Structure formats: structure tokens, C-alpha cells
Structure 1
């Protein structure tokens, strides 16, 4: 498949009182056109920060190095004007909490149609397109709901409005940051099915940020696993989840309750997740790793191909695979 987004050696430094903190370090992966790539890891692993770096919405003072290529555009060096032109039309984002992301003082229809109004389209055309999009995402009585304010919608409907806003211009890339976290299980399933349907219809690629392995197993074609701001493993989602090549991925899989039974978590991941500001020397996962050897404490493992299409940043990856 053609590569839509190429990320190579991406690092992000954020300002802090004691000096810059590297929250993302040497992250590399591709997003092929028309596919879903899952970005997974514990809280604080750098998932959202990676997505924000792609779309250019990092906090003020952030320093980005490395490469992010979208089509033929270098997003790291293209400038804010070019990024603004791409956002909405070619790239869009679905945020985790729609109530915090939607403007409480503006009607839903106005917010969904903002991208189209920016292009100078006639008001009647924008309204027609907004109502059609609200209908496509499953919002009942779309013409009436377009006049509602965010607080007048349920959590599920607000998330659908966010999806409509992200998809209305037919972007090539959608960044979805935990789009179902605040929803109950039945609504989650409907929203994920809707996202997949719209992605196929529009031919969009999607970067799905989540900590939920069960969501990834149903939605993502490829998977990138992050720990303390570094890539620990990447490959086809079905292969990574069924036969991990890194102890961290293996521990994540073991910590998820069985999907077809109602058992409690039998094997939780031990220890506390490392944070970038206090990242251990060597492999950041070594304090929690049952396979750690002496060099794991001193040498940062490189991300290497350990099987066809399988990449792991582990000195002992072959032992994990056996």
C-alpha cells in the first residue's frame, strides 16, 4: 500500500522547570493510505503526544526533531500557515472528551460545518452538507439536532457529532484519540463500527490512539506499542497481539481479561509505568521485565526486525518469540 504518513526518528522535547524533558524519543512508523494503525500503551506512554505532533497541536515551547511526512509535505518544517490549511481538509482529529472539545456556546451544526464555511461555500450548501453528515453518523432528527448545543446531547451523540466534524471534509488522515473511552460498552461498539464504516467510505487512513487491546484487535491492521515515549514493538496487529515479540507487549496482553469469559484480571502488569521525565537508563522497561539481563540496564535496545514484518526493541526478543 502507498504510505500516506511517514514518521522517522521523531522526538519531542517539552519545557520544564528543570530543563527540557524528552517525552517522545526516536519514534518511527508508517501509516499506509486507507488503513488503521493502532498506537497503544499505558497512560503516559506518549500516545497522544505523538498524535499531536503529527497534526501540529503540541503545547507552546515544544521542540520537534525528526521527520513527519504527510503526502509530499514535511509537517515538521512546513510552517503554521501550511499546517492550518491541512487541518480539517486533509487531516482531522477526534478528541477523547467531546464535552471538553466542543464549544459550549455554539450550536452543533455551526461547529460541524466550520471547515466547510472556511472554504467560502454558500451557507445553504454548508447546512445541507452538515445535516447529511449528522444523518450519516446516526444522529436522529439531524436538522433539529444541528440547532442544539453540546450540553443538550448525550455522550454518545456528542461523540458522533465530533466524528461528523472530523469527517465532513473527507480528510485523508483521521487521528482518533481514545474516541470511545467515556462511553459505555454498547455505545463504544456502535461508535467504532461507525468510524470504520466512514473510513471505508471516505478512503481515509486512521491513527487510533487507545490503551484498550480489545478495541485494537477489532479495528487496527497494524500496531505500534509505546513505552515511556519509545517504540517497543510494531507489526501486524493480529500477529503482535497473538505472538508478542517484546516482554512489555506480552505483559499487556496477559493483563487483559479473557474476551469470551467474565473472569477478573488474573495477571496484572507489575510495577509502575516509567514516565519520560524519570526514564530509567538502558531499556526503560527493565525494572519491570522478567527477562532483564545486565545490558538491559545500560544499553538502549534498537528497534530491529526480529521476524518478517516484526520489529522489537528488546535485547531478548528471540526468547520472547520462542
Structure 2
């Protein structure tokens, strides 16, 4: 397997992922669902991790927070404040989770405990930290108020099923902020919400990030969401990095045919006549990854080299990396 070559970032990264691999048990042996992924998340920035379903985005985020499925095997480096979390003790991983790194899950109704009130769940970390009952109540009310839950002193006693989808996601964000983390992992935080609620949640995340100086790794398949909030973008396909760089550059002038196809598949919302161009074929998955470049069966530029040789991730312009043998050709025609 070919791993991404490490490239230093200008800013000192809060989180550095270097050659991360994740193997999950399968009926015919281990399946490598994350294959040599490398990326950096500098303090105070948002990095968008994008790609179709099955590309390995969520598994990458779960590896960071240490919530992979049973039987998973990991390799590479997850460097958090100069400490490799993959070699840290289980107790250390638990201490990082929630306090230093927190996660906002895609489906808050599934992630929240249906048998506990919202207030009890948001207050769990402050209680574990030894805060008094009165102090926990104050913290919970303040957090729920900060994320826009109306009448938080009353609504903290409600159960998850008594909240709307938008309010549940706000409660999930409050729960993630309860430990005062430095990094938020947001896994498709607006997927289950309607468009207007999506916009409010995105504004809320941006506001919270700016107020607290948080870094954020945003997992999404929605390019419009990523374009709205991300500073950097990492594009994944079949468990590997296809392209990475500044969000504006990657989305306006892709250096990989897969990124170019993703951008073309999203209609321009301001142009009534704009048409989307869906990607042809089915996306490859780590379990059925083709030889060579995994995207070659769907790629209009595919040649013999693409079918036999896995492309290395290389710098094709200043601050731009692409895993395409013909990245310069893609850039020239963007």
C-alpha cells in the first residue's frame, strides 16, 4: 500500500495525522478502510474532509477520538500536541476524549441517551470533574443558552425525543463544548436537517469556533457546506487522500479528476439554469478497491498507468497536493 508523503505545514498543527491506516475485520480477512491518510489541523482553523459515502471520512474522525469498532487495528501517527495518541494508554485516550477533543455526531437522536434528560447529558463532564450540583446546573444552562436552545432552564429537563432535529443538534453541540475542547470533530452535523436549519447550525458552529478559538475537522459529503466554513479541504476516495489544499483553490480549480467531478455534480445555487452532472458509475470502496488509482474506472483521463500504478500524493503547486499522475493536466483544464 502507498502512504501519503508527509508535507510540513506553515502553521504549527494542533493535530497531525501522518500515514494513518485503519483495518477492520472482514469475512475474508482485514479490510483497510483508511489507507495512509495524512492531514494537519492548525489551531483555530476548519479542515473539511469530503468524499462520497464509504470513502473513509468518518473512520478517520473516529480514529482520532478513539471510538473505532471492536477489532479495528490502526497504524501510522495521530500526533496531538506532540503526543502520538495511537500509542497512548486507554486511560490517556479517555482523558483526551471530551476534554481536549470532542465529537458532534451525525445523528444526535441516536447519539443521545433517550433515557436521560438533555441537561443530565450535557452536564456529565462537569459532574465527572467534581463540580457541585449548582455549578453543573449553571454550566448546563449557560451552554444551552449559548447554542440557542430557548428557555434553557426549563428545556434542560426535556428528553431527546421532545426536541426537534435542530434543537437536538444544538444540544449535541452544547454537550461537545462542555469539556472546553480545543478540537471539534463534526461528522455530517447538518445532514439530517432542512436547509434553513442547516444554515443556522453552520452559523452557530462558526460563531462558537471564533468565540473559543477552536479548531474543527468537518466531515461532510456536501461541498456547499464545506465551501461555506472550511479553510482547508482534504478530498478522500476509497480510503485514500485524493487531493488537499486551501478550500477556495481546491473547489474552484481542482487538481484531481475526482474533485473536479464532485464539484461538477453540485449545481450552482445562484444560477437557475445550472445543471448538475452526476458522477458516472458506483464509488469504489476499500473492500472492492481497484488496482492502481482507485478512481480510474470512473475517470475520463484514465490511462494504462492509472490502472496499474497507485499515484503518490505530491505537491503540484504551492500548498496544493494531488494523488493523480496527470494533476498538471487537470489543473490546466480546470
Question: TM-score, normalising length from structure 1?
Answer: 0.99
**1:212 to 2:222 alignment:** yes
**1:65 to 2:75 alignment:** yes
State the match for 1:187 in structure 2.
197
Tell me, in whole angstroms, the C-alpha distance in 2 between the residues paired with 1:149 and 1:266. Answer: 40
User: In structure 1, which of residues 174, 177, 185 is the aligned counterpart of residue 184 of structure 2?
Assistant: 174
Question: Helix, strand or coil for the counterpart of 2:258?
Answer: helix
Tell me, in whole angstroms, the C-alpha distance in 2 between the residues paired with 1:285 and 1:102. Answer: 37
Tell me, in whole angstroms, the C-alpha distance in 2 between the residues paired with 1:202 and 1:219. Answer: 16
Tell me, in whole angstroms, the C-alpha distance in 2 between the residues paired with 1:25 and 1:296. Answer: 18
Q: How big is each residue's C-alpha offset from its partner over 1:251-287, in whole Å with a ceiling of 9 and x where there is no partner?
A: 0000001121345743111111001011000000000
Return the offset for 1:67: 0.3
**1:226 to 2:236 alignment:** yes
User: In structure 1, which of residues 301, 316, 321 is the aligned counterpart of residue 326 of structure 2?
Assistant: 316
Return the offset for 1:195: 0.6
- How do residues 63-212 of structure 1 correspond to structure 2 at under 5 angstroms? 63-212=73-222
User: In structure 1, which of residues 37, 43, 55 is the aligned counterpart of residue 53 of structure 2?
Assistant: 43
Question: Helix, strand or coil for the counterpart of 1:269?
Answer: coil
**Structure 1 contact 170–204 (Cα < 8 Å) conserved:** no
Tell me, in whole angstroms, the C-alpha distance in 2 between the residues paired with 1:98 and 1:169. Answer: 18
Tell me, in whole angstroms, the C-alpha distance in 1 between the residues paired with 2:135 and 2:165. Answer: 28
Tell me, in whole angstroms, the C-alpha distance in 2 between the residues paired with 1:271 and 1:312. Answer: 22
User: For the aligned residues, what is the CA RMSD?
Assistant: 0.9
Structure 2 portions without partners, runs of 5+: 1-10
Tell me, in whole angstroms, the C-alpha distance in 2 between the residues paired with 1:181 and 1:71. Answer: 31
State the match for 2:5 in structure 1.
none
Return the offset for 1:73: 1.8
The count of aligned residue pairs is 322
Tell me, in whole angstroms, the C-alpha distance in 2 between the residues paired with 1:265 and 1:44. Answer: 25
Question: Helix, strand or coil for the counterpart of 1:248?
Answer: helix
State the match for 1:275 in structure 2.
285
Question: TM-score, normalising length from structure 2?
Answer: 0.95
Tell me, in whole angstroms, the C-alpha distance in 1 between the residues paired with 2:202 and 2:123. Answer: 22
Structure 1 portions without partners, runs of 5+: none
Question: Helix, strand or coil for the counterpart of 1:3?
Answer: coil
